[in-house]
Structure 1
């Protein structure tokens, strides 16, 4: 199953040059400018390689509006590709640039993250549940969608969880104190990758303080605890400082002040109101933004990944664990605070700004911190002899893989579509528009390549369902568990069908995506690396 997960990550390439994906290309145009011109501004890159969106402008100079880490991280990737292509200005076409930037900076780091997630979960859960939750996270959550896009959202999740993992190891005495430098570096890099990643960093700070200070009744004197906290803080600041200083210098060079971001200088005036008022556009909560971010039929977090609903009762189990365990107490408060922070953000920011994306993209960094609570519920149900509830919970995981997986096959979801699977992915697949992938470039017919990828996704979903359906002793589930699981799938599918309009907006979205599809059916596959001038 793990090989199938890795293959889906590496082989899938949902990208269509005709869309001019602004969030991705604005970063890569700056990468081109850094390598070819030695500048932060992308004016010449815009002239040479074409216009893109998501820009900021300052004194006639254009920059990406995003935090800069990924633009700089892609420099060695682009420099290497440029040498392979002949070392001239137009040596690297757009498709291989996007593919290899994703592969090295979003896909492979997420595969590494899955290893960390599995190691962490295995300390609290049985191997079957730890595997099931990790695989569900890999293919049934925003992690899958944003690993296959050159955006900073999954990068933020990787960095946040890596920082947490270092703190967790430190709290257990399994790492030396210098590990706080690693945690600090991950925190600093998080903010340099995505400004809103600071919400997750606050959760890490809370966890670090709780684990260093311990419980009030701990035998260690308070003076010693405070001294330890001071050393930990100093080491963490030491790790974060290079990224924070570099970010401030970048802001100073581009926008005239260390604390001035590109969002205050957006080139497109229509987007400016989204970032005005409050802090970077974060205001007071709005019920509409809250409801749509979590429950929208198109991109609600719990709609695409219903298994995350298990995390809500799972927090109660984690809190109960904290009554007898200082570790459980710290994990509960960190998870609860991170959920509260991200919930406040998504409820207070303009929902309409999510764009053509899969799910509420700025919540990507939250998802890894909901996995343990969800896993605790699955573990409890498997050990309590409740086949009906176990069947429901297992199907929530399998359905997450199917729904998010199929949405990720498209991964550019127009705002006015009614549902991502039945209104968009299904008609595209029926028309033969399978996700662009390496298998087709290797010469496999597109229909066969698409069928292989779809079969792989369905197989993983079925495997997750079958594994989690068994009880703690590994016994085959009773018929009631199967019935409950299949009934849950029927309910979820019916809900999707009820909200699918199949109206003109849905049909226009399908036709438009078909018109820009990178590997359309019944036509020769465009070369992966076209020759200059072709």
Structure 2
């Protein structure tokens, strides 16, 4: 069911001309069709898109280039299937298959690693529940279903961490550091801001080596070998990124953000490092608590990570392994919090949640799991019910918003002000089932029912894990938390003209309106 929710959902509306996605795919087209890095001819042949940089009259995506290049073999195969000519690949199948192979499937593989990691510290029941909640109740779901680099960054960061973690536990040989370095290098080539979390991973790697019960000389030698292997792994991606910058923007350290084509966006990236300056309390608060796209408003289960970090810190007093994990989680949380507080909050526009925090979320899962494990055996079972309800609410809220995934800036509340009104009016999530001849609501209804079923399963699985699902105390705690979470959602929904206007606008752009069919691969020559 989880796989189906990832593979079948297709929130995409061509009329919106999704700039973050299409600018990358236009470069993919340019690489295959014309053998160029610039997308000038692609803009002429396939239509204008946004999120561009310009240098000496040549246009490029403003984004880091990894996804554009990674989609080249996918586009080449689709081009052959479509007949082998310039317009052989329509936009919808290009977007769908690029998402499927480069953002959806990597996340599904990552979920196996997340479950394996969590299972080393918490019970299988908690590990399963946290993994499913992460998969459907966090930004992981939102950005797996978009051809953007945010969930790609999360996957690569976790892959690097997973390799370091296995090496630290002695389960992999030292060449695992080569894998960790490759993932870290690819992270920066996918999203520049991923470098913040990479620094946290470097700290984690150093701690896990230096805190080994070995003579100092042996530890230093191991650290040197690990650093060398990681550098070798990262080098192809770092060098490739610098060569790309040199070819496109004239300097190996000059990115597209310094050459933005739209002057209105340039102030967001001026000053500091790529626009990162002194923190702003407003940006911090809205990034975490805005009813439109605040991280904790969309995924309240992540609030459990805050007391969970305290538990992780306590475990670290007696265990170097836990201590290193605590400092990794804390450093990544502080780094991303500083970034989201010092960058312009207004630049997150038309997205589900604070998209640049996507890479943070995997590093909050162990603290969440540790807290849930403690609540399972605690005396006050109502707290377990409350925590389980927060997981359920996260899946319902973020999962429903992800079915929309294009959230206008003037909406009061992404869940009750936009997503739910669209679903109630029959505009169910676009689904691959529509490509097989099913119309709405029958094509999108399985996605909605599947999401609700898995949300309910997480609550039952967690509450039952405490040995007292039928206990009134557990149900009382769950009901109390649900009323609180959804009550906050209701009180922050204004249902004003902007909400209604956003709903009507998205209805006019909907890929699969009620009772209409959709051609997945129309003949471009028709």
The answer, yes or no, to whether TM exceeds 0.5 is yes
Q: CA deviation at 1:325?
A: 1.0
Among 300, 305, 311, the alignment partner of 1:317 is 311
- Work out whether residues 296 and 302 of structure 2, in 8 Å CA contact, stay in contact via their aligned partners in 1: yes
Among 23, 26, 30, the alignment partner of 1:26 is 23
The runs of at least 4 consecutive aligned structure 1 residues that moved more than 6 Å come to none
Partner of 2:174 in structure 1?
177
Q: CA deviation at 1:438?
A: 0.7
Q: Give me the TM-score of the superposition, normalised by structure 1.
A: 0.97
3-state SS of paired residue (1:406): helix
- Work out whether residues 460 and 469 of structure 2, in 8 Å CA contact, stay in contact via their aligned partners in 1: no
Which runs of structure 2 are paired with 1:131-210 in the superposition (5 Å)? Answer: 131-210=128-207
- Work out whether residues 309 and 326 of structure 2, in 8 Å CA contact, stay in contact via their aligned partners in 1: yes
**Matches of 1:139 and 1:333 in 2, distance apart?**
27
- Work out whether residues 387 and 477 of structure 1, in 8 Å CA contact, stay in contact via their aligned partners in 2: no
**Matches of 2:21 and 2:445 in 1, distance apart?**
28
3-state SS of paired residue (1:470): helix
**Matches of 2:444 and 2:482 in 1, distance apart?**
24
Q: CA deviation at 1:421?
A: 1.2
- Work out whether residues 300 and 391 of structure 2, in 8 Å CA contact, stay in contact via their aligned partners in 1: yes
Matched, 1:463 2:460: no
Matched, 1:403 2:400: no
Q: CA deviation at 1:360?
A: 0.3
- Work out whether residues 274 and 281 of structure 1, in 8 Å CA contact, stay in contact via their aligned partners in 2: yes
Among 497, 508, 529, the alignment partner of 2:521 is 529
3-state SS of paired residue (1:274): helix
Matched, 1:72 2:69: yes
**Matches of 1:426 and 1:520 in 2, distance apart?**
15
Q: CA deviation at 1:147?
A: 0.0
- Work out whether residues 471 and 477 of structure 1, in 8 Å CA contact, stay in contact via their aligned partners in 2: no
- Work out whether residues 95 and 528 of structure 1, in 8 Å CA contact, stay in contact via their aligned partners in 2: yes
Among 484, 497, 501, the alignment partner of 1:491 is 484
Among 363, 370, 388, the alignment partner of 1:369 is 363
Among 331, 339, 343, the alignment partner of 1:345 is 339
- Work out whether residues 31 and 72 of structure 1, in 8 Å CA contact, stay in contact via their aligned partners in 2: yes
Q: CA deviation at 1:445?
A: 2.9
**Matches of 1:337 and 1:532 in 2, distance apart?**
50
Which runs of structure 2 are paired with 1:301-312 in the superposition (5 Å)? Answer: 301-312=295-306
CA offsets 1:486-520 (integer angstroms, 9 cap, x no match)? 22111211111111111111111111101111111
Matched, 1:274 2:271: no
- Work out whether residues 167 and 180 of structure 1, in 8 Å CA contact, stay in contact via their aligned partners in 2: yes
**Matches of 1:493 and 1:334 in 2, distance apart?**
32
Partner of 1:332 in structure 2?
326
3-state SS of paired residue (1:449): coil
Matched, 1:520 2:510: no
CA shift in 2, pair 1:475/1:486, >3 Å: closer
3-state SS of paired residue (1:357): coil
Among 31, 55, 73, the alignment partner of 1:58 is 55
Q: CA deviation at 1:522?
A: 2.8
Unpaired segments ≥5 residues, structure 2: none
CA offsets 1:131-181 (integer angstroms, 9 cap, x no match)? 000000000000000000000000000000000000000001110111100
Q: CA deviation at 1:385?
A: 3.1
Q: CA deviation at 1:444?
A: 2.3
Q: CA deviation at 1:476?
A: 3.2
Q: CA deviation at 1:414?
A: 0.5
3-state SS of paired residue (1:120): helix
Q: CA deviation at 1:443?
A: 2.1
Q: CA deviation at 1:225?
A: 1.0
**Matches of 2:151 and 2:187 in 1, distance apart?**
10
CA offsets 1:269-314 (integer angstroms, 9 cap, x no match)? 0000000011110001100000000000010000000000000000
3-state SS of paired residue (1:62): strand
3-state SS of paired residue (1:278): coil
Deviates further, 136-145 or 312-321: 312-321
Unpaired segments ≥5 residues, structure 1: none
**Matches of 2:27 and 2:524 in 1, distance apart?**
21
Q: CA deviation at 1:471?
A: 4.0
Matched, 1:247 2:247: no
Q: CA deviation at 1:457?
A: 0.6
CA offsets 1:216-244 (integer angstroms, 9 cap, x no match)? xx3x2212211111110000000000000
- Work out whether residues 30 and 41 of structure 1, in 8 Å CA contact, stay in contact via their aligned partners in 2: yes
- Work out whether residues 382 and 470 of structure 1, in 8 Å CA contact, stay in contact via their aligned partners in 2: no
3-state SS of paired residue (2:54): strand
CA offsets 1:39-66 (integer angstroms, 9 cap, x no match)? 0000000000000000000000000000
CA offsets 1:307-359 (integer angstroms, 9 cap, x no match)? 00000000111111111111101100001000000000000000000010000
Partner of 2:99 in structure 1?
102
Q: CA deviation at 1:475?
A: 4.2
Matched, 1:482 2:475: yes
CA shift in 2, pair 1:476/1:500, >3 Å: closer
CA offsets 1:67-96 (integer angstroms, 9 cap, x no match)? 000000000000000000001000000000
- Work out whether residues 419 and 499 of structure 1, in 8 Å CA contact, stay in contact via their aligned partners in 2: yes
**Matches of 1:499 and 1:329 in 2, distance apart?**
39
Q: CA deviation at 1:452?
A: 1.5
Among 497, 503, 507, the alignment partner of 1:510 is 503
Partner of 1:90 in structure 2?
87
3-state SS of paired residue (2:59): strand
**Number of equivalenced pairs:** 526
- Work out whether residues 437 and 518 of structure 2, in 8 Å CA contact, stay in contact via their aligned partners in 1: no
**Matches of 1:395 and 1:15 in 2, distance apart?**
30
